[in-house]
Structure 1
Amino acid sequence: MTTTAYLPTPAHHLSNPTSSSSHTTSDDVNFQGLPIPRGSVTASLSFYKAPEDGTPPHNYVEPLPGVPQRNWGDNWQNVELQDLRGLEHKFSLDDNAFDTFQNVPSEEREFKDDERIKRVYYPEVEKLLLDNVQGAKRVLLFDHTIRRPTGNRNPVTRVHIDQTPFSAAERVKSHLPNEAEELLKGRYRIINVWRPLNGPVMAFPLAVADSQTVQDEDLIPIEHRYPDRNGQTASVQYNPSQKWYYWSGMKNEDRLLLKCFDSDESVGAWGRVPHTAFENPNTPEGAVGRESIEVRALVFG
């Protein structure tokens, strides 16, 4: 299989195109002529609230009749989010558990057929990771989610991390059972590659926390109960020391890398990035709903 050659640009190598001029440019408005929300903003984020009965938090992936789908609550907090535009050079996967890339073209345009997405878009994501994630020697893309206002998967407006150390190891065992014993002895990471499909993003952008500002005590394992198995994600308790960011006006050629787990203990303390969609109070009335795709990858080496 051949893939399109491209040279993505780490966003921290670029300057903010809107910061050097006070004049309105094409980077300031979307195709509707509406202003793209920019700059720091204070928004309400949903954090973890423990079950009132003291039982371990859990969630039924397929709701059961007469049983609440989840037993924990929401703790809404107003949080200041800084705009990453112009600050990209300050962050990396190893230090902060997220990274940014611009000018990444794709031959996939519609994102309506799963098999075509796997055939065309997956190799592009694999190449991006192999070329830009330090130490990466092998990549396995294990699933993706498309979110559209008209679809059945809406933006998740709850602060979370997709994996825990337990569930990350289980992913390796599940997807590569014959090699898992050896692979688990080396470095393995789970990285999500997130991009919009109808950028620039106007509504419900993605917020990320600098992993260095997140304490282990802030992370709460949530048991996800499937009909045939149990999995885990992590919910996140509010801590005023957490520092939050969003990347304003993400375009279709932008890529946001989110590290959900890293087995390397030298950077493991920063190996997970809380994230959530949020309602930006500066989103102009009439802005189109956000469409996006996230591809999840096991990265070895």
Structure 2
Amino acid sequence: MMSNMARDEVASLRYLQWEEKFHDTKPYTLYMDVPDGFPPQNFKVDAEEAETIHDVRGYESKYSLDDNGFAYYKHHFELENHDRETLERDYIPQVEAFLMKTIPNATEVKIYTWRLRSSDSAVRNKLPGGVVNLSDPTHHLAPATAVHVVADGSTLDPNDLIAADYVRTTYQGENLLPLYNKNCRWYYMSDQMPDDVLLFKSYDSRAQSKAKCCPHVSFRPTKVPDVPKPRESIEVKAIVFSSE
């Protein structure tokens, strides 16, 4: 049975390591084949001092997208299979409806990408190109026992967020990579279940929003529940327009 008691953890999270070259050279990661000797990534991430990862279990209502950059909700999505056809036909429309209902003053939702994360190699092979390999160290995740950790956006120093490009064969995007700052507070949910939905912001253009973004990573709790089957989770990215 799940415990209702919050369980804070202590862990060393990995951060971007600052280099003087970033004053005139932008960090980047290339998700493609590159010539021999050309670095596919020009920055390093490494573990910093151990810090507390606060458990939101039992305190979910204290956190909001506007104030903290993340929020947890109880919601059940009807989903029979994790194949691409089922996800696009059944799951994505449910996510759109959930966001329209949940985010205050939302007027339109545009989902622009989604990924199935799985620790099952059979699933990864079944959906090439649509799956993130949890064993890939570039994603800083581990199969089955890793959980999502989100930073309280209101505790971030904007000067600690470094813009970095990620380049694929079909498009180029940009991430904000955090530097270590002892004042930043991190959170997770113990014993997170499929109905425990985590929303977090990559960016917010509204001036009145206290938290503009929410860095995220993962870690291994010291106590993890038994995992009877491979872990599968669905990451959906959307642009939400509001009337504010």
User: Is TM (by shorter chain) over 0.5?
Assistant: yes
Post-superposition Cα deviations, 1:95-138, rounded to whole Å, max 9, x if no partner, equal 11111111x222213212x2221110111111111111011011
Contact 2:100 2:108 in 1 (8 A): yes
Deviation, 1:259, is 1.0
Structure 1, gaps ≥5 residues long: 1-25, 29-35, 159-200
1:98 matched to which residue of 2? 70
Post-superposition Cα deviations, 1:137-187, rounded to whole Å, max 9, x if no partner, equal 1111111111111235134328xxxxxxxxxxxxxxxxxxxxxxxxxxxxx
1:83 matched to which residue of 2? 55
- Find the residue that maps to 1:100 and give its secondary structure: strand
Deviation, 1:234, is 1.1
Give yes or no for the alignment of 1:73 onto 2:44: yes
1:239 matched to which residue of 2? 181
- Find the residue that maps to 2:202 and give its secondary structure: strand
Give yes or no for the alignment of 1:263 onto 2:233: no
C-alpha distance in 2 between matches for 1:101 and 1:254: 6
Give yes or no for the alignment of 1:204 onto 2:146: yes
2:78 matched to which residue of 1? 107
Deviation, 1:56, is 2.2
C-alpha distance in 2 between matches for 1:48 and 1:122: 32
With the length of structure 2 as denominator, give the TM-score of the two structures: 0.83
Structure 2, gaps ≥5 residues long: 125-130
Contact 1:51 1:73 in 2 (8 A): no
* 1:122 partner letter: I
Give yes or no for the alignment of 1:220 onto 2:162: yes
CA 1:56–1:109 in 2, change beyond 3 Å: closer, same or farther? Answer: same
1:145 matched to which residue of 2? 115
Backbone CA RMSD of aligned residues? 2.5
Give yes or no for the alignment of 1:298 onto 2:226: no
Contact 1:203 1:288 in 2 (8 A): no
Identity percentage of aligned residues = 29
Contact 2:32 2:169 in 1 (8 A): yes
CA 1:246–1:294 in 2, change beyond 3 Å: closer, same or farther? Answer: same
CA 1:27–1:46 in 2, change beyond 3 Å: closer, same or farther? Answer: same
* 2:87 partner letter: I
The 5 A counterparts of 1:1-301 are 26-28=1-3, 39-51=7-19, 53-54=21-22, 55-66=25-36, 67-77=38-48, 78-102=50-74, 104-112=75-83, 114-149=84-119, 150=121, 151=124, 153-155=132-134, 156-157=139-140, 203-227=145-169, 229-267=171-209, 269-283=210-224, 290-301=231-242
C-alpha distance in 2 between matches for 1:125 and 1:225: 27
Deviation, 1:255, is 0.6
- Find the residue that maps to 2:66 and give its secondary structure: helix
With the length of structure 1 as denominator, give the TM-score of the two structures: 0.68
Contact 1:202 1:287 in 2 (8 A): no
Contact 2:191 2:224 in 1 (8 A): no
C-alpha distance in 2 between matches for 1:226 and 1:27: 41
Contact 1:204 1:290 in 2 (8 A): no
2:127 matched to which residue of 1? none
Contact 2:18 2:179 in 1 (8 A): no
Contact 1:207 1:244 in 2 (8 A): yes
C-alpha distance in 1 between matches for 2:106 and 2:185: 28
C-alpha distance in 2 between matches for 1:115 and 1:50: 42
Contact 1:37 1:202 in 2 (8 A): no
CA 1:75–1:250 in 2, change beyond 3 Å: closer, same or farther? Answer: same
Deviation, 1:282, is 3.0
Post-superposition Cα deviations, 1:193-212, rounded to whole Å, max 9, x if no partner, equal xxxxxxxx961000011100
* 1:84 partner letter: V
